[in-house]
Structure 1
Amino acid sequence: MYGFTIKQQHLPCLLVGNQKKPNYLPMEACKIVEGQRYKKRLNEKQITSLLKVTCQRPGDKEMDIRRTVHQNGYDQDPYAKEFGINISDKLTSIEARVLPAPWLKYHDTGKESECLPRVGQWDMKNKKVVNGCTVNHWASINFSRSVQESTASGFCQELAQTCRLLGMEFNSEPAIPMYSARPEQAVQALKHVYNAALKKLKGKELELLLVILPDSNGALYGDIKRICETELGLMSQCCLAKHVFKICKRYLANVSLKINVKMGGRNTVLLDAVSRRIPLVSDIPTIIFGADVTHPETREDTSPSIAAVVASQDWPEVTKYAGLVCAQAYRQELIQDLYKTWHVTGGMIRYFSYTESHP
């Protein structure tokens, strides 16, 4: 039909279009136009490169924008001229204001019970969390071949000690010794550690699993979270191997704060909330909700969208939140069955009043 002879007949064809209406073309008959948007899922290396480009300081970003406008000569673009579009080489100026940082309240037993963030930053030096969690039974697993078992165990001990220094009750000894496994054995390894700990604890629940991951772990992180949270009902905290080799106190503090929140504790509260000085929220018992929907990639039309809703549980501090996730129709932005009354099944948010409730 086209008078084109395929020379590389052993090569696979390119799928053009979508899964419902596939169109296959030989590679040598195709040319990829420069500058097209890539719509499929990026691999880990591509995501890292993208984040490095986008995470710029404001001054560097401004210089890049000015350089791009100057080099590409948007003012001389024939299509812009044809439509009468003028592109300025100056950045837009807008009026804005910087909101004052709120005072944070920590536990009174720390040397510093109150803190005012500076330029959006603060640390946990001389501070203790408002409500420390309790971790009596924990275990650890190492999926990194480059990390020796003794090094991994020492890191976990340092992390446990940091948790205690920040005001948590964290058992210094794990339920079972450190377990090492290859990443491809993740499912079997996680279940082995979980069952071995249950057997050792004689009926008591394993509360936390510390996981050491290779720096390049691909789908391993997602598999661990899926297995722990949907199959085993177990909280997990993952750490990369590079942080295990070079132990940093600030990193240990950040991980400890994550553990405290996961295990039901509260790191800090707003001083204005404790003092009942937040307008409207402090006046009457209030719940603060947050909701969002995450959609799959455009071409992944078989995957559902994921809706998530969180709600505060601790008025007047409104610091501790419960979360709920639910799958719904593909790329549906409106949360499905978001609201239901108490006598109707389903719904991510349920409502009942005292007049409707039963003794």
Structure 2
Amino acid sequence: LPPPRLEYGKGNGGRQIILTPKDGAWNSTEFKFFESASCESFGFVSFLPPHKASMLQEFCLQIVRTCRSTGIEMPDSPKFYEQARKNDTVEMVLKRIADKYDRDGIKCDLVFVALFSSEQYAQVKSCGDITFGLVTQCILPKTISDVAIKKNYSTMLNIAMKINMKIGGINTKLLDDE
């Protein structure tokens, strides 16, 4: 079977971008998503040690730039930053955030969660996404490093694709066979 052709949004020249994967991969620089979502506000939770804060700021900067380059509307910085304390559980931190949303009438489209370890992932998804109704994007230390230090565009683009889907966008559309 020939690979499907993928339709994205308009490129820099204003023309619709159509890509055909080769060997299961495709080069996807300088394109917009088929339908880019809008993220009016986002938050950030860190379970990493406090001295990692500057690396997390750089991560945010790079992800916001990448999201905007693909058409996602996104503010410059998070609406809130929550540093987990030493004895905090995932549930305690996410409950504090959910309570603050309710109390202050805050609307937040996405919460980045910097995990200390992959074991926290299931807890974040259970408590955040299911119990408290938060749309979360978990990130591990290696991913943070790939974005903030190594500036790995593939990693940034993969995160942007996940974000776009989570907040209601459509990354690409399969073109009908001719």
The answer, yes or no, to whether TM exceeds 0.5 is yes
Q: Distance in 1 between matches of 2:49 and 2:123?
A: 18
| Residue 174 (1) aligns with residue 75 (2) | no
Matched-pair contact (CA < 8 Å) for 1:132–1:266: yes
Q: Distance in 2 between matches of 1:231 and 1:198?
A: 14
Q: Which aligned pairs between 1:263-274 and structure 2 lie closer than 5 A?
A: 263-272=167-176
Which of 10, 19, 26 is the matching residue for 1:108?
Answer: 10
Classify the secondary structure of the residue corresponding to 1:224. helix
Offset, 1:246:
3.0
Q: Distance in 2 between matches of 1:232 and 1:123?
A: 37
Classify the secondary structure of the residue corresponding to 2:161. helix
| Residue 206 (1) aligns with residue 94 (2) | no
TM-score (norm 1): 0.45
% of aligned pairs identical? 27
Classify the secondary structure of the residue corresponding to 2:10. coil
Offset, 1:146:
8.0
What is residue 222 of structure 1 aligned with on the other side?
122
Aligned length: 172
What is residue 42 of structure 2 aligned with on the other side?
138
What is residue 67 of structure 2 aligned with on the other side?
163
Classify the secondary structure of the residue corresponding to 2:57. helix
Higher helix share: 2
Change (3 A) 1:225 1:166: same
Change (3 A) 1:271 1:224: same
Q: Distance in 2 between matches of 1:194 and 1:154?
A: 25
Q: Distance in 1 between matches of 2:68 and 2:87?
A: 30
Larger Rg: 1
TM-score (norm 2): 0.86
What amino acid maps onto 1:266 in structure 2? Answer: I
Offset, 1:157:
2.1
Q: Deviations over 1:101-138 (max 9, x none)?
A: 01111112445711111101013201110101111121
What amino acid maps onto 1:163 in structure 2? Answer: C
* CA RMSD across the alignment: 2.2
Q: Which residues of structure 2 form unaligned runs of 5+? A: none
What is residue 233 of structure 1 aligned with on the other side?
133
Relative contact order higher in (CA < 8 Å, ≥ 6 apart): 2
What is residue 152 of structure 1 aligned with on the other side?
56
Offset, 1:176:
1.4
Q: After the TM superposition, list the runs of 4 or more consecutive aligned residues in structure 1 that deviate by more than 6 angstroms.
A: none
Offset, 1:147:
6.0
Matched-pair contact (CA < 8 Å) for 2:45–2:113: yes
Matched-pair contact (CA < 8 Å) for 2:6–2:172: yes
What amino acid maps onto 1:192 in structure 2? Answer: R
Matched-pair contact (CA < 8 Å) for 1:179–1:193: no
What amino acid maps onto 1:105 in structure 2? Answer: E
